[in-house]
């Protein structure tokens, strides 16, 4: 009886693995590199408003795939994501504002990064279907912050298309063959317009996990470029109780 049950459980798993394309397998393995129980980052976001350069000191916390929080230390304000809801605590408003829908596609504090870029856990296999694979060698930034020194890396280029809903666009991702992390991604609108490029560099290790300490985003629609430097990272840390309470 137990054997029958085991076989019954095993058959769909084997069948699923058998029908998964190599691209989907690749995306599945990639996603595993980004998953963590909890994460806490200290970051600096450099962005521009016209000629004025601004720096936002951010603290990021996440728990699982559904909850994340960013507090802006030097300007005030908090952004709390609970699944598909975004709560904004602005220093200029005396009550939080709850939003949902396409709000995650909006610019984060006017930078070239969106709320989705910073607050959503990367999901490749669940949300996208792989379409095409090529190879390319590209340069990625090695030292933190300078943006000058680059290292040539051998990458797999995968074109992925959104399966549904709010992620209604096509993406192209460059996956480093050696570290199996995304080092560049380009997003396109449904009409094929190039919306944004994000480059990841200065990969470092924390608790045997790799993470990019340097991110550069270019919003082609607004011609805006922003940089994000990750200064402190702690994975699987016990976060303060109630930190994600609205």
Partner 1 sequence: MFALAVKNILNTFRGWVALLGFSIMVALAVLSWSLVREISTGALNNIAYYRSGHLRVVDRRFSDQLLPLNRAFPKYLEVEKIAAQYPGIKAQAERIEVRLLLQHQGRSAQARGIAIDAIREHPPWRTLAGRQVGVSDKELVIGARLAKKLAVGLNDTLTIVTPNSLGSLAVFDLKVVGIFSSGSTTIDESYFFFPLAAAQSAFDLNGKVSEVVIYLRDARLAGEAAEFINAELGRVAPGQFKVIPWERDEAVVWLEKGELIGWLVGGLCFFLGCTIIYNFFSAGVAGRDPEIAALKRLGVKKGEMIRLLIIEATILGLLAGAIGGLVAYVAAQFLSGQQISIGWMNLQYVQTEIEIGPRLPDLLKGIVGSVLFSWLGIILPAWRGVK
Cβ neighbours around 114 below 10 Å, total:
21
Q: CB under 8 Å, gap of 24 or more: what pairs does 215-221 form?
A: 215/113, 216/141, 216/147, 217/111, 217/112, 217/113, 217/117, 218/112, 219/107, 219/112, 219/195, 220/194, 220/195, 220/196, 221/195, 221/196
Q: How far is the CB of 59 from partner 1 (least distance, A)?
A: 18
Q: Please report the sign of the dihedral spanned by the C-alpha atoms of residue 205, residue 197, residue 34, residue 238.
A: positive
Number of residues that bind partner 1 (CB under 8 A): 21
d(CA 245, CA 87): 10
Token pair, residue 241, equals 């109780």
97 exposure class (CB count in 10 Å sphere: 0-12, 13-18, 19+): exposed
Q: Does 43 bind partner 1 (CB under 8 A)?
A: no
Q: How far is the CB of 184 from partner 1 (least distance, A)?
A: 22
The window from 3-11, 24-32, 90-98, 122-130 that contacts partner 1 (CB under 8 A) reads: 90-98
Q: CB under 8 Å, gap of 24 or more: what pairs does 140-144 form?
A: 140/176, 140/183, 140/184, 140/199, 140/200, 140/201, 141/199, 141/201, 141/202, 141/214, 141/216, 142/201, 142/202, 143/202, 144/202, 144/213, 144/214, 144/229
The window from 35-43, 98-106, 144-152, 236-244 that contacts partner 1 (CB under 8 A) reads: 98-106
For partner 1, the closer of residues 92 and 241 by Cβ is 92
Q: Does 11 bind partner 1 (CB under 8 A)?
A: no
Q: Does 102 bind partner 1 (CB under 8 A)?
A: no
Q: Does 110 bind partner 1 (CB under 8 A)?
A: yes
Q: Does 107 bind partner 1 (CB under 8 A)?
A: yes
Q: Does 25 bind partner 1 (CB under 8 A)?
A: no
Q: How far is the CB of 194 from partner 1 (least distance, A)?
A: 16
Q: Does 53 bind partner 1 (CB under 8 A)?
A: no
For partner 1, the closer of residues 3 and 95 by Cβ is 95
Q: Does 93 bind partner 1 (CB under 8 A)?
A: yes
The window from 15-23, 36-44, 68-76, 96-104 that contacts partner 1 (CB under 8 A) reads: 96-104
Q: Does 70 bind partner 1 (CB under 8 A)?
A: no
Q: How far is the CB of 196 from partner 1 (least distance, A)?
A: 12
Question: Interface with partner 1 by CB under 8 A: which residues?
Answer: 49-50, 52, 88, 90, 92-95, 97, 99, 103, 106-111, 219, 222, 224
């Amino acid at each position: 009886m137990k054997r029958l049950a085991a076989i019954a459980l095993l058959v769909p798993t084997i069948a699923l693995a058998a029908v998964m394309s190599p691209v989907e397998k690749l995306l599945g393995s990639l996603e595993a590199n980004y998953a963590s129980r909890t994460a806490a980052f200290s970051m600096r976001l450099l962005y521009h408003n016209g000629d004025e350069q601004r720096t936002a000191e951010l603290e990021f916390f996440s728990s699982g795939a559904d909850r994340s929080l960013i507090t802006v230390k030097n300007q005030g304000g908090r952004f709390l994501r609970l699944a598909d809801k975004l709560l904004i605590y602005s220093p200029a408003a005396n009550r939080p504002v709850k939003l949902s829908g396409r709000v995650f596609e909006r610019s984060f504090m006017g930078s070239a990064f969106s709320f989705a870029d910073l607050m959503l856990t990367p999901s490749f296999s669940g949300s996208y279907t792989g379409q095409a694979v090529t190879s390319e060698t590209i340069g990625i930034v090695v030292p933190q912050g300078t943006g000058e020194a680059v290292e040539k890396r051998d990458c797999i280029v995968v074109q992925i298309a959104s399966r549904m809903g709010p992620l209604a666009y096509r993406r192209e991702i460059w996956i480093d063959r050696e570290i199996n992390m995304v080092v560049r991604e380009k997003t396109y609108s449904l009409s094929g317009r190039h919306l944004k490029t994000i480059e990841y560099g200065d990969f470092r290790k924390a608790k045997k996990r790799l993470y990019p300490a340097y991110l550069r985003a270019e919003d082609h629609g607004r011609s805006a470029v922003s940089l994000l430097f990750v200064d402190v990272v702690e994975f699987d840390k016990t976060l303060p109780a109630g930190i994600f309470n609205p």
